[in-house]
Amino acid sequence: MMNPDEILDPDAETLLALRSTTDAVRVITEHLKVKEMGPADHIRTKHEVKTFVETAGSARAAEELLKRARERREVNQSVTMRNTLQRGQRMAD
């Protein structure tokens, strides 16, 4: 049995299984690592997860949710990296 508190990089099957857990929205958003996203993407993803849980989303919907969450984390990481480099350049000038 899967431990819902264990944070892993989930797959669609994991999201489908977590959908029936107590406090599913919180558990799934933690697995999707929404805290690594920007504020707007964090909120957007939470809304998508809530819809996924409430509508008993399909495996395809789970895959799309995973894809968007991964892309949002990557965008936030690249923005953070760019901002850090810019600050470093300003301090060096």
Please report, in tens digits, the pLDDT of each residue of the chain (93 residues total). Answer: 345 444 557 888 888 888 888 899 999 888 888 888 888 888 898 999 999 999 887 889 999 999 988 888 888 877 777 777 777 776 666
pTM exceeds 0.75, yes or no: no
Ramachandran bin of 72, using left for φ above 0, alpha for ψ from -120 to 50, beta for the remaining angles: alpha
Q: Quote the distance between the C-alpha of residue 63 and its chain's center.
A: 12
